[in-house]
Chain A
Amino acid sequence: MSRIAAAFRSFFSILFSGALAEDIAVRFGYAKTKPAPVVAPVEQPKLKTSDGALQLLHILQRDSRLIDFLMEDIDGYEDDQIGAAVRSLHSDCRASLNRHLALAPVIDGVEGTYQKLDGSKAPDPNRIKLIGNVPASGKVPGGTLRHRGWTASSVNLPPLGKQDPAILAPAELEIE
C-alpha cells in the first residue's frame, strides 16, 4: 500500500468510523498484535457519500412526492391549482424532515434586530456569513440579523441495507 493511500485511508476511516483500519493500525504500530483473523467475512455494502443524499430524496419523494413536484412543469397551471397541491405536499414534507433531521436556527434571535457578536475575532464562516459593509479585518461587534440560518443538529436516517440508493421512487404498476 502506498503511503499516500494509507494516509488517505487513515484520514477517512478516522473521520467516518472513528477508528483506524486494523491493518493500518498494525502496520504503523498503533496496535500491538495482529488481530485475530475474521471467521466469516461480513459483506458490507459499499457506502458512498452520495447515498445519504439520495436516501433523503427517496424519503421526501415517498412521503411527500417532492421530486414529482420539483420536476413537473408548472408553467401552465393557475396559482390556486399549484397552491392546492403544495399545501398537502408542504405538511407531509415538513413532517418527514422533522422525523429524520433535528432542524434548528444557527442564531435563535428575532430577524431584523441587532445581534451581538464576539468582536475580538472574526466569526466562524461555517456558522455566520457577514454581508454589507464588512470591515477588512472581518471582526465585528455585531450586526442586524437578516436570516437565522439552519443547522441540522442531528440526523436520524435508517440504515440503507440492500436498497438501491439510485432508485428514488420505484415505478408503480397496478394490476386491474
Chain B
Amino acid sequence: MSQFIIGIDLGTTNSALAYTAAITAEVEHPEVKIFPVPQLANPGEISDLELLPSSLYIPGPNEFVEGALALPWNDKPPYITGLLARKRGVENAGRLVSSAKSWLSNQNANATQPLLPPAAPEGVQKVSPLEASTQYLLHLRAAWDRAHSDARLEDQRVLITVPASFDAAARELTQRAAKQAGYPEVTVIEEPQAAFYAWIERNRNWREQVKSGDLILVVDIGGGTTDFTLIAVTEHDGELQLERVAVGEHLLLGGDNMDLAVARFAEQQFAQKGTKLDAIQFHSLWQQCRAAKELLLSGDASAPKDQPLTILGRGTGLVGGTVRSKITGKEIRNLLIEGFFPTVAPDAAPQRQRRAALMEVGLNYATDPAVTKHLAQFLRQAAANAGTEGFARPTHLLLNGGVLQADAIEHRIFEVLNQWLEQSGAPPLIELQNETKQLDLMHAVAHGAAYYGFARTGKGVRIRGGVPRSYYVGIETSLPAVPGLPAPMKALTVVPFGLEEGSKVELPQRKFALVVGEPAEFRFFSSLSRKNDAAGSLIEEIGDDFEELSPIEVFLPPHTDGTREEIVPVTLESNVTETGMLELWCVSADDRRWKLEFNVRERAAAA
C-alpha cells in the first residue's frame, strides 16, 4: 500500500513534483505539497528548487572539474539535468537538449531515435526525446528516494500529466519513459484537467461556485504548448458531476514563444544602435524582457511606462561595454496582446499549416500565433460536435500557465470571450480564481495531478471524460487496382469518442486474417472532431477530419509445438486501462490474444 500519491508535471520547459499522503480517512481535501528538487544550480553546488527545468546537457569529457557534476545519489552522472543544464546550454547550445516533450508528439520524427540536440556537433552522442524524458523522470525519482528512503517512489501511486491534445502514441511514449526510469505503472492525466483539479483542491466550496448546466473553459498556456478543454457540469442523483466534453488540437505555441518574440524585438533595437548580441547576452536580454513584461503588463495603475534593458559588456570591461535600451509597455502590449491575443470575431480561423513538399524534420510549430483564433476554432468545433450551431458558450473560465502572470493577457482573453458571448446574447464569463495565483500558475498542474490521484481512491470528485478522440484502423477496399493510385482506404472505428477508463469494446463483425510468423501492420487514424462514430462503424472516406498516426503492428510468433497453423482469423478489441492507456488487441476464435503495438519507427514514413 502506497504511503504517498505523487503528481508529476513533466513540462516542456519545467517539471515539478507534488505529493500528498495516501490517507484512508474520509477526507475530500488532502494537503498537497510541492517537493523541492535538489539539482545542480552551478558546478559543485546543489540547490533545492521547486521546479526542475526540463533541460538536459550532455557534458563533454573535459568540460567540468572532476566531481563538479556529482549528485547526492550519483557521483558521475552521464548527463546534467535541471538548472545547470539550462545555464550551461546558453553558453554551448550544441550539447543542450530542450523541448524533448514536443518531440514525443511529433508526427514527422521518431521519438525513440537519437535526434537531440538537433544541431549537435559531430562526435556528441545524441539522445532520443524518449531518453531525455526518461532522464528527467529518473532525476525526480532519485531525488524523491533520497528524501524518502522508507517510501520509495516505485512503491507509491504516481500520476504524470500530458497535454490533453497528446495522441495515444505520445501518451504511450510518456508511460514508456516512466517505465524506463523505474517507475511503477503510472496513470496519465490531462494537464487542463489537472489545473482544474488544483482549483477544486484550493476551493473547498467549489460546489457553490458552479451549478448543473455550466460549461467551464480551461485555457492552459504552458511553456511550449497551449491546451483548451471544456468541462461540463451535470447533476446525477443530486450530486454535481463533471464531464470533460472537448479538448483542442495539439498547439505548439506557448509562453516561451511569447517571451522570445519580445526578446527578438528588443534585440532589433540593440542592432539599430550597432550592437550585435551574442548568445549569452541574448539570453540575459530574454530574462530581462520576461521580467519587464510581467511588470509592464501587470495592469497595476502604478506600473511604470517603460523598463530599461541593460546588456553588460562581455569582457572584463563591464561598465565600458554596457549598452542600454528600453522597452515600453505599449511595445510589449503590441507584440504580445495584439500579436498573440488579437481581438477577433468568433468565426475567425487560424491560418492553415503551410504544407511544403520537403519539410525539414523539426517541430511543427503552430503557424498562426493568434491564440484567440485557435480558441474560436476550438469553440466552434466543440459546438459542431455537440450538434449545435455557432460556437460553444462557456459560463466559466479557468486560466493556467506562467505567462498569465502578466495580467493584461488574462484581461484580453476575458475581453475577447465576453465580446463573443455578448454578441450571441449569452451572459459574461465568471472567472474561477486560484487564491495564491503566483504559485499556482507554475505548480497547479503537478498539484492537481496529486489531488486527482487522491480523488481516484473515491473520496474526491472525479472528472469523467474518457478518450478525447476517436480512433480508426484503415481497411483497404477490395476494388480493382488502378496503376499509380493506392487502393482506396476506409476507416473502421475501433475506439469511439469518450470511451471511459476501465471499459472495452469488441468488434466481432470484422475478421482479419493474420499470417503466423510475419508482422502485420495496420494504418491507424484518429479524429478530434468525429464524435458520433459508433464502435465498428465503417467510414467510407478518410477526409480532412482524420489525422494519420503511427501505424500499429502485431506479430504472431511461429509455433514451436509443430502445429502447422499458418493463418489465424482474428477480431479486434479495444480497451482503455484504469491508468488511461489505450490498448488494441487481436483475439482469435479460441480466445488467444495478441496486443497491437504502436510502431513509432514508422511514424516518419507514414506522415
Query: Contact residues of A with B, CB < 8 Å?
Result: 59, 62, 65, 68-69, 71-72, 74, 77, 81-82, 84-85, 87-89, 99, 158-164, 174
B45 & A158 in contact (Cβ 8 Å cutoff): yes
Q: Beyond the given A68-B316, A72-B318, could you list 20 further A-B residue pairs with CB under 8 A, ordered by the A residue number?
A: A62-B42, A65-B312, A65-B318, A68-B317, A69-B319, A72-B317, A74-B319, A77-B319, A77-B320, A81-B322, A84-B308, A84-B324, A87-B308, A89-B312, A99-B47, A161-B65, A161-B68, A161-B70, A162-B68, A163-B43
Query: Contact residues of B with A, CB < 8 Å?
Result: 42-47, 65-68, 70, 278, 308, 310, 312-313, 316-320, 322, 324
Once bound together, how far apart are the Cα atoms of A176 and B308, in whole Å?
30
A162 & B318 in contact (Cβ 8 Å cutoff): no
Once bound together, how far apart are the Cα atoms of A115 and B123, in whole Å?
67
Once bound together, how far apart are the Cα atoms of A162 and B62, in whole Å?
13
Instruction: List residues of chain B with CB within 8 A of the CB of A88.
Output: 310, 312
Contact of B318 among A59, A69, A87, A158 (CB under 8 A): A69
Instruction: List residues of chain B with CB within 8 A of the CB of A89.
Output: 312, 318
B44 & A85 in contact (Cβ 8 Å cutoff): no
| Minimal Cβ-Cβ distance residue in B for A74 | B319
The contact sample of 19 A-B pairs, CB cut-off 8 A, is A62-B42, A65-B312, A68-B317, A69-B318, A72-B318, A74-B319, A77-B319, A81-B319, A88-B310, A99-B47, A158-B42, A158-B44, A160-B44, A161-B44, A161-B65, A161-B66, A161-B67, A162-B66, A163-B44
Instruction: List residues of chain A with CB within 8 A of the CB of B319.
Output: 69, 72, 74, 77, 81-82, 85
> Chain B nearest CB: distance from A173 CB in Å?
11
| Minimal Cβ-Cβ distance residue in A for B43 | A163
B317 & A162 in contact (Cβ 8 Å cutoff): no
> Chain B nearest CB: distance from A78 CB in Å?
10
Contact of A72 among B44, B45, B47, B320 (CB under 8 A): B320
B318 & A85 in contact (Cβ 8 Å cutoff): yes
Question: Most B CB atoms within 10 A — which of A59, A74, A88?
Answer: A88
Instruction: List residues of chain B with CB within 8 A of the CB of A74.
Output: 319
Instruction: List residues of chain A with CB within 8 A of the CB of B324.
Output: 84
Instruction: List residues of chain B with CB within 8 A of the CB of A161.
Output: 44, 65-68, 70
Given A68-B316, A72-B319, answer yes or no on A162-B67 (Cβ-Cβ < 8 Å).
yes
Given A85-B322, A162-B67, answer yes or no on A71-B316 (Cβ-Cβ < 8 Å).
yes
A68 & B318 in contact (Cβ 8 Å cutoff): yes
Instruction: List residues of chain B with CB within 8 A of the CB of A65.
Output: 312, 318
Question: Most B CB atoms within 10 A — which of A65, A77, A159, A161?
Answer: A161
Question: Most A CB atoms within 10 A — which of B66, B278, B322?
Answer: B322
Instruction: List residues of chain B with CB within 8 A of the CB of A160.
Output: 44
B42 & A162 in contact (Cβ 8 Å cutoff): no
Once bound together, how far apart are the Cα atoms of A68 and B70, in whole Å?
29
| Minimal Cβ-Cβ distance residue in B for A80 | B324
Instruction: List residues of chain B with CB within 8 A of the CB of A59.
Output: 42
Instruction: List residues of chain A with CB within 8 A of the CB of B322.
Output: 81, 84-85
Question: Most A CB atoms within 10 A — which of B68, B278, B308, B320?
Answer: B320
Once bound together, how far apart are the Cα atoms of A88 and B310, in whole Å?
7
Instruction: List residues of chain B with CB within 8 A of the CB of A81.
Output: 319, 322
Once bound together, how far apart are the Cα atoms of A88 and B317, in whole Å?
15
B44 & A159 in contact (Cβ 8 Å cutoff): yes
Question: Most B CB atoms within 10 A — which of A59, A71, A158, A174?
Answer: A158
Given A158-B46, A161-B65, answer yes or no on A84-B310 (Cβ-Cβ < 8 Å).
yes
